[in-house]
Structure 1
Amino acid sequence: MTDPMINPACGIDFGTSNSTVGLADASGARLLPLEDGSVTLPSAVFWQTEGAPALFGRAATAAYLEGEDGRLMRGLKSTLGSGLIHDKTAVGGRAVSFREVLARFIGHLRAAQLAAAPGLDRVVFGRPVHFVDDDPAADAAAEAVLAEIARDCGWREVGFQYEPIAAALHYEQTAAREELVLIVDIGGGTSDVSVVRVGPGRAVLPDRGRDILANDGIRAGGTDFDRLLSLSEALPHLGYLAPTRGGGTMPRHYYHDLSTWHRINALYSARTASDLKALRLVADQPTLIDRMIRVVAGRHGHALAMRVEAAKIALSDAEVARLPMADLTGGPNPMLRRAGFEAAVEAPIARIRALLERVLSEAGLAPDRIGTVFLTGGSSQLPILRATVQSVLPGVVMASGDMLGSVGTGLALEARRRFG
């Protein structure tokens, strides 16, 4: 049994793909087990239609894959900063807003914290450098909604810290000397980069503002890689960009919804079913549209997205990987190649490269002034991403922490510094 912590502070990493709850006291920081002993909880909600309680994490995904009645929702963080956060979707015969779904999930994280530290009512949440690119008003609105949800869940005082800064605080726990570290945090929905001065003697300083030399971020991450891989390799087998008999191509928005986690449920409507049947009549290859109709009618969208995500992960270790989707689509099981994936994600990778160069420039540093590049986030181990970092900072030491836990641990340490 874990020894109880004395006067702990709490940090929450609510991620696009995975979430953690961290506690820290004078003895250090740890992440709480959230599901079956795991300290990470997939950011997924399965809203059952028969009035049963919502399911979260792996249990949510399992219920969906087992064919239970209900709605699976993933990628919920991506709704922050967009008009979609206030939209409603039909679940179990009633309209449920995406804000309510977020509140249910964050309330589940709050319950885990209360079980471990009943009296704790102050928290530091992580946030990307930008929830929304080039829109300060939408970015501020996203943070405000998240803070409001957190207070509604019972936290009296809610603070925020940039996720890459939290990762730096975690890295600093093992730093042997003072150095400049480039933190590269590639999450599910955002990519953030920071230059931070760290060192054994700096962790106790009350104000670390001067140690942050530069930081910036973009709204592009692992779910974008999934989407682009799906559009490139999976959805052409369902009619994406397929010609019509009139000389045009199939409308793209259905396929973009199918490849985007938080938009998949929008396809499950009578109107979409009717539209696809009409499009089949003008398609040059109606068999492809039959496959699309099969996926939408069977509500296999999330299952297909999971298969694509798994293939992406497999391509991190192998040059080729099979995408098993025939049982969902009635089509082939295509063989994917790493080179094809890397070509598909060329645009966001170029944006990440520009982000790296921009942050170094804003810090006023040549690449050789960086002591270590610290990589974190679920997509940071992709070979194309590591190669991009290496090309911008040739010869610099690259270190990796807990891919899914560094930010949460750092947020707990930040909460300890703020709240004592």
Structure 2
Amino acid sequence: MIGFDYGTSNCAVGVMENGAPQLLALGEHGRYISSTLYAPSRDVIVNWLHKKLPLAEQPAFQSQRTRQLQKGQGALRELVLDGYPTELSFGQQALKDYLQEPDEGYYIKSPKSFLGATGLLPQQAELFEDIVAAMMSNIKTLTEARLGRSVNQTVIGRPINFQGLRGEESNRQAIEILTNAAKRVGFKDVEFQFEPVAAGFEYEASLSTETKVLVVDIGGGTTDCSMLLMGPKQAASHDRTADLLSHSGERVGGNDFDIAFALKGIMPSFGLDSMLKIGKPIPANSFWQAMSINNIHNQTEFYSAANARFLEQLVRDAEQPELLKRLLTVQKNKLSYRVVNAAEQSKIGLTDSTEQLVNLSDIDKGLSLNLDREGFAKACNRELSAITALMTDAIAQACCEPDVVFVTGGTAKSPVLNEFLRQQFQHTPIVIGDHFGSVTAGLTRWANKIYS
């Protein structure tokens, strides 16, 4: 049995050893695998997955994906003839493969962000299920290699809400995709636990008295808050329903901070806030679409042929055409992930320094920018306000104030976020957990409890 954090930014696996959860080192990835996948062609993902599935699963999968597998075979033949690799890559290697040739292949970051998207067509849902299954298959293989035995029971973390709109329908859709993918790759028993609750379980192991804990999990795709009654007595129970005092959650997380930082910090150098020759501002919609890497519709619109023609006209009409040419380069070479990744790496760098130099000379020769913490805080004002509303809502629902605030999630490493949280809870102790590992550890504890 394992605890499985299939996260928006990273994936991790935990097992119980000597009564305590341990996060596994998974091959060259270490304890955390970036939630990314790269395929030389989108059409070959289904073929790669088919080969990796347990033998018992292959016939049913083949009958369900006959057309896609045939299409993938054609794509594979073309790749071989052209001398391209045919394997998928994951984690940091996926990012490296994408950055080598951004306009070739198929790269996806944080597929979890899309699972609750409204209006998914059946073929889109099938594609995401196959992407998730491919990532889970890779992680399951690495886990079993590390442990030297098979694993077939898991507890997977889930946010309170996968999507803000049509909440319950989105949640149902996302859970169905995750369940189908997990069972397809060989997990026989699959359960889910709210990610902030799981993080709370890990913190609970350190408590000696009954405590009201507000867990604030600022993850890659969502921020989730849970007010929990915790302590030694509660930890012994298999039914924690009465201890879960309130929940709140919204799709605002590290990806949104990265996008906001890219939009406000980088896009002005690509023409955002500049002017047309007629004295009117440049339309901002294309900049937002370019950076919205977690929105299928926006990315489709940005990379459409119609938008390419629109941007070419903007270049002709702009007071500073050299800036708009950079946006056109992003469009023509599919560089949205490249720009948002630059903002993300700057955000991470600003954890230990107050300024970061961003080199974008691969987009335009000599282009480099200075980004700083103050600019990051201003860029993310909307996201910080949304987190404030979630924490306030969780406290109001619980009808009580927390004794302690337990904070986890990779985004919470930022000094800007730390200062923001301390301003919100000036008279309440704040405990900072393992930014990346608390959820996995809690999921592992819960798996051990329900499957033992």
- State the TM bucket, normalised to the shorter chain: 0.7 to 0.9
CA distance in 2, matches of 1:70, 1:265: 16
1:108 alignment partner, one of 113, 126, 138: 138
The aligned residue for residue 157 of structure 1 is 189
Report the more deviating stretch, 269-278 or 103-112: 269-278
Deviation at 1:158, TM superposition (A): 1.4
Report the more deviating stretch, 43-52 or 327-336: 327-336
* Counterpart secondary structure, 2:15: strand
CA distance in 1, matches of 2:427, 2:181: 44
Report the more deviating stretch, 316-325 or 126-135: 316-325
1:21 alignment partner, one of 5, 13, 20: 13
Which 5+ residue runs of structure 1 have no aligned equivalent?
Answer: 1-8, 90-95
Say if 2:114 is the partner of 1:122: no
The aligned residue for residue 36 of structure 1 is 28
Are the equivalent residues in 2 in contact too, given 1:190–1:220 (CA < 8 A)? yes
Deviation per CA, 1:114-146: give whole Å up to 9, x if none. Answer: 333644322111000111125221222221221
The aligned residue for residue 385 of structure 2 is 350
The aligned residue for residue 10 of structure 1 is 2
Superposed, which structure 2 residues align to 1:21-100 within 5 Å?
21-24=13-16, 27-36=19-28, 38-49=30-41, 50=79, 52-67=86-101, 69-83=104-118, 86=121, 97-100=127-130
The aligned residue for residue 6 of structure 1 is none
Deviation per CA, 1:335-368: give whole Å up to 9, x if none. Answer: 22322221111111111112111211211113xx
Deviation at 1:271, TM superposition (A): 4.6
CA distance in 2, matches of 1:186, 1:345: 14
The aligned residue for residue 255 of structure 1 is 287
* Counterpart secondary structure, 1:133: coil
* Counterpart secondary structure, 2:413: coil
The aligned residue for residue 4 of structure 1 is none
CA distance in 2, matches of 1:99, 1:254: 29
Deviation at 1:410, TM superposition (A): 0.8
CA distance in 1, matches of 2:119, 2:110: 12
Superposed, which structure 2 residues align to 1:323-334 within 5 Å?
323-330=358-365, 332-334=367-369
Deviation per CA, 1:150-176: give whole Å up to 9, x if none. Answer: 122221221110000000111122234
Report the more deviating stretch, 19-28 or 302-311: 19-28
Identity of aligned pairs, percent? 29
Are the equivalent residues in 2 in contact too, given 1:169–1:413 (CA < 8 A)? yes
TM-score in terms of structure 1 length: 0.88
Deviation per CA, 1:282-311: give whole Å up to 9, x if none. Answer: 223211121112233334332222211111
CA distance in 2, matches of 1:97, 1:134: 22
1:236 alignment partner, one of 265, 268, 282: 268
1:362 alignment partner, one of 368, 392, 397: 397
CA distance in 2, matches of 1:275, 1:200: 62
The aligned residue for residue 340 of structure 2 is 305
Are the equivalent residues in 2 in contact too, given 1:240–1:255 (CA < 8 A)? yes
The aligned residue for residue 404 of structure 1 is 436
* Counterpart secondary structure, 2:412: coil
The aligned residue for residue 93 of structure 1 is none
Deviation per CA, 1:375-409: give whole Å up to 9, x if none. Answer: 11011122332233223322322222221111111
The aligned residue for residue 208 of structure 1 is 240
Deviation at 1:64, TM superposition (A): 2.2
The aligned residue for residue 66 of structure 2 is none
Change beyond 3 A, Cα 1:108–1:127: same
Report the more deviating stretch, 327-336 or 300-309: 327-336
The aligned residue for residue 145 of structure 1 is 177
Whichever residue aligns with residue 151 of structure 2, its letter is L
* Counterpart secondary structure, 1:409: helix
CA distance in 2, matches of 1:223, 1:125: 21
CA distance in 1, matches of 2:25, 2:441: 13
* Counterpart secondary structure, 2:430: strand
Structure with greater helix percent: 2
Deviation at 1:87, TM superposition (A): 7.7
Change beyond 3 A, Cα 1:37–1:285: closer
* Counterpart secondary structure, 1:214: strand
Are the equivalent residues in 2 in contact too, given 1:85–1:99 (CA < 8 A)? no
CA distance in 2, matches of 1:14, 1:329: 36
Change beyond 3 A, Cα 1:202–1:218: same
CA RMSD of aligned residues (A): 2.5
TM-score in terms of structure 2 length: 0.82
Are the equivalent residues in 1 in contact too, given 2:196–2:224 (CA < 8 A)? yes
Whichever residue aligns with residue 218 of structure 1, its letter is E
Are the equivalent residues in 2 in contact too, given 1:357–1:392 (CA < 8 A)? no
Are the equivalent residues in 1 in contact too, given 2:156–2:192 (CA < 8 A)? yes
Report the more deviating stretch, 410-419 or 337-346: 337-346
